[in-house]
Amino acid sequence: MRAVVLDGPGQLAAERVDDPTPTPDGVVVAVRDCGICGTDLHLVDGDLGTDRFPLVPGHEPWGEVVAVGRDVTGYPVGTLVAVDPSLHCGRCDPCRRGHGNMCLAWGAVGATRPGAWAEYTAVPAANLYRLDESFPLAAAPLAEPVACAVRGLHRLAPRPDEPAVVFGAGTMGLILAILLDARGVGPVTLVDTNPARRELAARLTGARVTDPDGVAGHRVPWVIEATGSPSAFTAALDCVARAGHLLVFGVAAPEATAGVSPYRIYADELTILGSMAILRSFPAAVDTLRRHADRLAPLVTDRFPLADVAAALALVRSGRTVKTLLTPGLGG
């Protein structure tokens, strides 16, 4: 099959590799689309500390089951599925306490085992979510990012009719803004330094969109940091009202730090929360996509064949796109 292989930081090429075969408890999925996200850029750049090269990236696939392991039931060939990439051991202390996303042996399809920037990907059947005949397939490529956003909002638990600010108008910021609005939280303001992103965000979300100056001095009860930038974290914390909540959703560099005022956290009774990847949020994400496909599906803005992965990554880095996909069926 054709697959995008990462041989080391920055060393990426579409190549021919062996077709995967299913493990006894897994299936092989023919990938219809697989998203590119900010985490993939970090992976490609080699700044996640991953050294499991060569690696086929890609953790946001959906597609069709084409081969089934001998112990798998319920996912016959032809079933359309979205894939939760999370791999939890189920045995370590965090897993046993119900925090599988904190698994001491945490892994993910497309990070610690071969992923889905490929024609086919082998995944455990336990990670599959069926997309039935009535599912709006235009929204299917967003299952994984929406599952991350649903997990984040589960952590934040914002109240309806209260204002929210989201820092970062990338794909995740837009999804979070749309889901906040769908829950009746608002008004929602999206903040981004990039004018191209702001223009796309205004068109696709209906939220108020501004540069950071537009929220300077504003304080709201619900704030989400979805950039990973330490300076945005500082600006986001400045934006939290008394007794307010900040969700740290963006992926900062592991060594990055940002100054905070302990006095303010004390005196203003601030709550600062983290949200890492997906935890039991995939079923809710599939349901959310079904109900809000009209608003979410337009976030898929670009599709590239596997051979054009370099152009696809360049577009993602430019900010002139929302969700860019690699689509093996486009050939090339």
The binding site for Zn ion (CB under 5 A) comprises 37, 39, 89, 92, 95, 103
Residue (2 or 323) nearer to Zn ion, CB: 323
Q: At its nearest, how many Å lie between Zn ion and the CB of residue 179? A: 16
Residues in the chain: 332
Q: At its nearest, how many Å lie between Zn ion and the CB of residue 104? A: 5
Residue (3 or 37) nearer to Zn ion, CB: 37
Q: At its nearest, how many Å lie between Zn ion and the CB of residue 153? A: 17
Residue (63 or 186) nearer to Zn ion, CB: 63
Residue (70 or 97) nearer to Zn ion, CB: 97
Closest CA to 66 of 26, 33, 36, 34: 26
Residue (118 or 235) nearer to Zn ion, CB: 118
Cα–Cα distance, 298 to 95 (Å, whole number): 36
Q: At its nearest, how many Å lie between Zn ion and the CB of residue 85? A: 8
Tokens 């060594």 — which residue?
255
Question: Is 9:105 a contact under the CB 8 Å cutoff?
Answer: no
Burial 244-272 (b: 16+ CB within 10 A, else e): bbbbbbbbbeeeeebeeeeeeeeeeebeb
Residue (208 or 323) nearer to Zn ion, CB: 323
Q: At its nearest, how many Å lie between Zn ion and the CB of residue 119? A: 20
Residue (239 or 296) nearer to Zn ion, CB: 296
Q: At its nearest, how many Å lie between Zn ion and the CB of residue 174? A: 14
Q: At its nearest, how many Å lie between Zn ion and the CB of residue 75? A: 23
